[in-house]
Amino acid sequence: MATSIVLFGPPGAGKGTQAGKIVATTGKPQISTGDMLRAALTAGTPLGLAAKQFMDAGALVPDDVIIGLIEERLTLPDAVNGVLFDGFPRTIAQAEALSSIAEVEVVIAIEVPDERIVERICGRFTCGQCGAVFHDSFNPTSVDGVCDSCGSSEMKRRADDNEETVRTRLEAYHTQTAPLSDWYGERGLFVAVDGDQGIDHVGDAILIALDSL
Ligand code: ADP
Ligand code: AMP
């Protein structure tokens, strides 16, 4: 059976930043529930509009909504050889649901202390065309306002990337998501990497962890 990888960590840990390297190495497509919810919101679907109030508040979207999204996404042909989950699961209920629909090979946790998270999130911007992730100070574009990956100048900042919401998101992470480290640890699937180092070093540590499986 095809196996999947979970990229785990607090908001702003660098999951989206590192996903590209893992996708390139493993061939597994990235499934980011945050990206899917934002796409639904942009498209104005009922699901997107229902999720908006939770996302704006920095709270988790209800489990049944998220699990439904994932179940549907996993029926697409590109998921047949396993996928890279980014930002999912975020609760024990989501992990339990996932265990009955896909086999998780490993959970790679990017560990970053809370005090780094606010500065990372408040400086984040992304390319509206290709989704590449940048940071005002830690990962700026080479040419101001122009995406290094695709050349677009359509840069975006997220509505929930502000200091107040980040603190609520971190609280949600610690109370609802962090317990998954023990849940996956008990199943022998949890591998932590130090996310408090340069982007390339974090990427190397992840590839070493994946190589050693
Ligand atoms: P996540 O997907 O986990 O929410 P992102 O990949 O979007 O996190 O990263 C959050 C912000 O931190 C982005 O602006 C990104 O450029 C920056 N960033 C990511 N990894 C690092 C790192 N190792 N050091 C410094 N900044 C980083
Ligand atoms: P992210 O892009 O991963 O930072 O997620 C942005 C927001 O989307 C979160 O603050 C939640 O409101 C919502 N969200 C994304 N993924 C999940 C999930 N797996 N479970 C619940 N809510 C989620």
Query: Residue 129's pLDDT is what?
Result: 96
The residue segments making up the domain with residue 90 are 3-112+177-211
180 alpha carbon, closest ligand: 2
Domain contains 90: yes
169 CA: nearest ligand 2 atom: 10
Query: Is the CB of 190 inside a 6 Å radius of any atom of ligand 1?
Result: no
What residue owns the CA closest to ligand 1's atom 10? 12
- Single out the catalytic residue among 15, 28, 38, 120: 15
Task: Write out the two tokens for 198.
Answer: 């340069």
Query: Residue 1's pLDDT is what?
Result: 62
Beta bridge partners of 135: 124, 139
Q: Which pLDDT tens digit goes with each residue over 141-163? A: 999 999 999 999 999 999 999 99
- According to DSSP, the β-strands at 124-127 and 155-156 are antiparallel
What's the average model confidence in pLDDT over 178-200?
Answer: 98
Domain contains 138: no
- Cβ neighbours of residue 78 closer than 8 Å, sequence gap 6 or more: 29
Q: CATH number for the domain including 35?
A: 3.40.50.300
Q: State yes or no: is 120 an active-site residue.
A: no
Helix axes 63-73, 92-99, angle to 10 degrees: 30
pLDDT > 70: percent of the chain: 100
Query: Residue 19's pLDDT is what?
Result: 97
Domain contains 39: yes
Domain contains 163: no
Q: Which pLDDT tens digit goes with each residue over 197-212? A: 999 999 999 999 999 9
Q: State yes or no: is 169 an active-site residue.
A: yes
Contact 63, 11 (CB under 8 A): no
Query: Is the CB of 135 inside a 6 Å radius of any atom of ligand 1?
Result: yes
> Does residue 122 surpass a pLDDT of 70?
yes
What's the average model confidence in pLDDT over 178-192?
Answer: 98
Confidence of residue 2 (pLDDT cuts 50, 70, 90): confident
Mean pLDDT of the chain: 97
Query: Is the CB of 34 inside a 6 Å radius of any atom of ligand 1?
Result: no
Q: Which pLDDT tens digit goes with each residue over 13-46? A: 999 999 999 999 999 999 999 999 999 999 999 9
13 CA: nearest ligand 1 atom: 3
Domain contains 144: no
Domain contains 66: yes
Q: How far apart are CA 10 and CA 159, in angstroms?
A: 18
Q: How far apart are CA 132 and CA 139, in angstroms?
A: 11
Beta bridge partners of 193: 110
**What DSSP designation does 209 have?**
H
> Among 56, 57, 39, 35, which residue's Cα sits nearest to residue 48?
39
- Count of the separate structural domains present in the chain: 1
Domain contains 44: yes
14 alpha carbon, closest ligand: 1
Domain contains 37: yes
